Amino acid sequence: MNIKLQARVIFGIIIIIFVISGIFLFIDSKSSDSYYNKKMKESENAAKNYATKMYAEEISTEISGEDGWFYYFLITTIEQKQDITSNFFNGCNLKYEKLDNYKLRVYKDDTYTEVVREIDGFPTLSISKKESNGIRANDEITKIENWFDEKQFNKKIDFEDMKDIDVYNFDKNTIINLYNNAVSKKFTKKVGPYLMDPCSIKKDELKDGYFWNVGILAFRGNIIALRIDIVYSDNTFLSDLIHNNKANQEQIKLYNQVKEIEKYIIKNQKIDILEEFPDYKNEKIMRLYKIISTFDDGYDEQ
C-alpha cells in the first residue's frame, strides 16, 4: 500500500465523523457508537508513526451560508517521509446538532454500491447534500483533497496556484487561507488528553430557563476549536442576542467571559477554568465547568 493510501486509511478512521463522504455505512454494527469508539481507539494506536498539522477557523455566515461552521485543513505524513503528504479539507457545525441537507448514506451491503436510504448525521461538510453547478458539496470535497494530494505543494499557495481547479460550493480564498495556515505549522505526533469524538456538542439539562451548548472540534486528543453558547427556553442563543444587539448588560458580560474561557482552553489545552478565572465563579459558570470537566473522560464506553 503506498504512503498516501496508508495515511488516508488510518486518518480516515481517526476523523471518521468528518471524512464520511458517502463510504461510511452499511449501517448495522458499523453505525453503533461502540463500533465507532473501538475504531477510534484502534486508529490512535495505528497512527503513532504519523505526524500531522491542522488549522481550523470559524467561517462567516456570508461564506458558509449558516452560522456555527468551523472549517479546517489537516495535513498528514509518515514522520520519516514528510515530503509526501495527504490532505483533508472539511468542517463541522459546532452550534447545531442537526441541519437540513446533511445526511449519512445507508448502503444495502458492504459493497457500498447501492444506497437504500439516508439518515440525519452530525452536520459536517463531507455529508452535505448542498450543491452548486450540479456538483454536491461532499463530492467536491473529495475532488479538492485529491487535487492537493496530486500537487504536493507543501508550502504556502496563492489564488494563481488554484487556477486549474474549478470549485463551486466553496470559496477558494477560504481554502487557500486554511491550507496556508496549516502548512505553515510544524508536524507533530503529539496526542493530547482529550480523547473525544472529533466533532461533538455537549449540553446540560434545561434549568432556570437555559442550558449550555458546547461545541468541540478535537483531533488526536487536542482541542482544535471550541464554541460555547447558552440556549434559552425559547431556543434563542446568547450569541444571537449579542450579534443582534438585543443582549442586556449581564448577558454581554457573560458572553465576554465565555470568549475568554474559549481562548484559554484552546491556547493552553487546559480545562482548569475555575482556577484560572476565580472571579467568574457563579452558578452559570459552575454549570459550564461540569461540562468542560468531562473533556478528559475519554471515549464513552458503550
| Domain residue ranges in the chain | 3-183, 199-292
pLDDT digit string, tens, across residues 37-90: 444 454 455 556 789 999 999 999 888 888 999 999 999 998 666 678 999 999
Q: Are strands 69-78 and 135-136 parallel, antiparallel or unpaired?
A: unpaired
Decide if pLDDT at 280 tops 50. Answer: yes
Decide if pLDDT at 5 tops 60. Answer: no
Point out the least confidently predicted range of 9-23, 79-93, 195-209.
9-23
pLDDT band for position 109 (50/70/90)?
A: confident
Point out the least confidently predicted range of 1-15, 21-35, 125-139.
21-35
Point out the least confidently predicted range of 118-122, 173-177, 183-187, 286-290.
118-122
Is residue 260 within 8 Å of residue 278, measured between CB atoms?
Answer: no
For residue 28, the model assigns a pLDDT of: 36
Decide if pLDDT at 18 tops 50. Answer: no
pLDDT digit string, tens, across residues 144-162: 999 999 999 999 999 999 9
Whole-Å CA distances, 5 to 76, 87, 146, 182: 11, 11, 11, 21
The C-alpha cell of 159 is what? 489564488
Please give the Cα distance from 162 to 80 (Å, whole number). 28
pTM: 0.83
- Residue range 11-16: mean pLDDT, rounded: 45
Please give the Cα distance from 41 to 207 (Å, whole number). 35
69-73, 103-107, 193-197 — most confident range? 69-73
Decide if pLDDT at 10 tops 50. Answer: no
DSSP 99: -
How big, in percent rounded to 5, are the helix, strand and coil portions of the chain?
Answer: 40, 25, 35
Decide if pLDDT at 141 tops 90. Answer: yes
